[in-house]
Amino acid sequence: MKFDYKHSGVEKSEIEKTAKKLQPYITKLQGVVKRGGYASPESSINCVSDDETVENVIRLAKKKKFSKVTHIVVVGIGGSNLGTKAIYDALYGQFDVLEPQRLPKMIFLDTCSMSLLGHFEYFVKKHITRPEECLFVLITKSGTTTESIVNADIGFAALTKKFGIKIAERMVVVTDTDSALWKYAFKEEIDILAIPRMVGGRYSVFSSVGLLPLAALGVPIESMLSAATHMRDVCLQPTSLKNPALLSASILYAHVKKGRSIHDTFLFAPELESLGKWYRQLLAESLGKEKNREGKTVQAGLTPTVSIGTTDLHSMAQLYLGGSDERITTFVSREKDISEELAPQSSLAALVPGIRGTHVGTINEAILKGTQKAYQKKKRPYMDVVLKNISPESIAEWMQWKMMEVMFLGYLIDVNAFDQPEVEIYKQETRKVLNAKRS
């Protein structure tokens, strides 16, 4: 991964000044890694080196006959599925419609939708021929997430209706130890994997939350975790210019202080859109806080947006370059690989000067560079990230970097980056409404 921040609008001296502020926190995180385990809110950084979880996932792979699975049904919402979906879509999902025979595929029951559930029921009825082809992974940290319980109950009923199987045969539950769902699963003899209690959903992609469904997909989880571990260790280096999380957090913090309130992740690879949405939740839930750590009302936050190149150049570029100067942008692309590329050759290509015989990757690279030059001319600050490729390893590096970046930002902005008190309000009010309708 290459990270270039020369057009970020932040001087090296300011980055170094912020880096000094972060030294006590980096020392704390180094201690979290050294001690191991899950005793602190930051201990999600230990998920990447949790051999016990990997062993449990491999054990379940044999028991649930992953080799026979054609469809993995991930039932979760928010942090329970966004990380898995980000990796899946990057590798396969964005273009699944073009490869109907490629298996296994993932199905995400991630919102409470009659249409989604109805289509899923029809799919099972018409296309699933044996129960072993389907694996349900129900993920809810609290064990009582309304949408997930509804989707799991109705979704699995489609399998039960067709095959008459018990829920324990084709489901795995991932939840907090001793949650209501944990107790239910234990009673029904459903296989269970624990989410470490101190690991929040948006930081949980490298726990059993992501590892189980990704292992069922065939993703090499051990090499993925190795790449994430390497990035974690790089992001624990105290030297600012060698630490990408410290660099990006310092730059974002500088722009927050200048009054910029939006961070746009501009992805010049459409298959990474879900990765941008994973980061959107991470940044929004971690920093969007009414009060700081001392209880003072601050109404902090940095609004994350996701743009896709080149598509959104034709929908949002006018605003980004001509509208208010309220955002800092991070461009994300992948290294060009000529061996994979196609080039327009027919007379049709002659309609646009310069594209005939030019590789598509070269064209995209020119559009990206042209966009960045436009940002420079309009004095719109940005950072530039180039991934070596789109693989489980490179995506894992990016995700680990971003999780640590957000931890650093929470420390700098002085908010708790690990709780989500306002999210609980809607959940409580939803339950009150549902209970009132029953009475």
* Alpha carbons 83 and 71: distance in angstroms, whole number: 18
* Alpha carbons 405 and 245: distance in angstroms, whole number: 4
Which residue is listed with tokens 């327009």? 344
* Alpha carbons 272 and 206: distance in angstroms, whole number: 18
Q: How far is CA 301 from CA 77, 90, 132, 254, 349, in A?
A: 22, 28, 45, 13, 46
* Alpha carbons 368 and 385: distance in angstroms, whole number: 12
> What is residue 430's predicted lDDT score, i.e. its pLDDT?
81
Fold designation for 2-31+238-415: Rossmann fold (3.40.50)
Contact 95, 271 (CB under 8 A): yes
Residue of 184, 118, 195 whose CA lies nearest to 151: 118
What residue type is assigned to position 146 of the chain? T
> What is residue 428's predicted lDDT score, i.e. its pLDDT?
81
* Alpha carbons 410 and 256: distance in angstroms, whole number: 12
Q: Where are the domains of the chain?
A: 2-31+238-415, 42-219
pLDDT block averages, 10 residues each, the chain of length 439? 96 95 97 97 97 95 92 97 98 92 96 96 96 97 95 97 95 97 97 96 98 96 98 93 96 97 97 98 97 95 97 98 98 79 89 91 93 98 97 98 98 96 81 76
Q: DSSP letters along 45-57, please?
A: GGGGG-HHHHHHH
Q: Do domains 2-31+238-415 and 42-219 have the same CATH topology?
A: yes
CATH, domain 42-219, list 3.40.50.10490, 3.50.50.60, 3.40.50.300, 3.30.230.10: 3.40.50.10490
SS3 at position 332:
strand
> What is residue 439's predicted lDDT score, i.e. its pLDDT?
61
Question: 108 in the Ramachandran plot: left (φ > 0), alpha (ψ -120 to 50) or beta?
Answer: beta
Residue of 181, 142, 45, 179 whose CA lies nearest to 420: 142
> What is residue 438's predicted lDDT score, i.e. its pLDDT?
67
Residue of 184, 148, 172 whose CA lies nearest to 65: 172
> What is residue 286's predicted lDDT score, i.e. its pLDDT?
98
Reported as a single tens digit per residue, the pLDDT across 195-239 is: 999 999 999 999 999 999 999 999 999 999 999 999 999 999 988
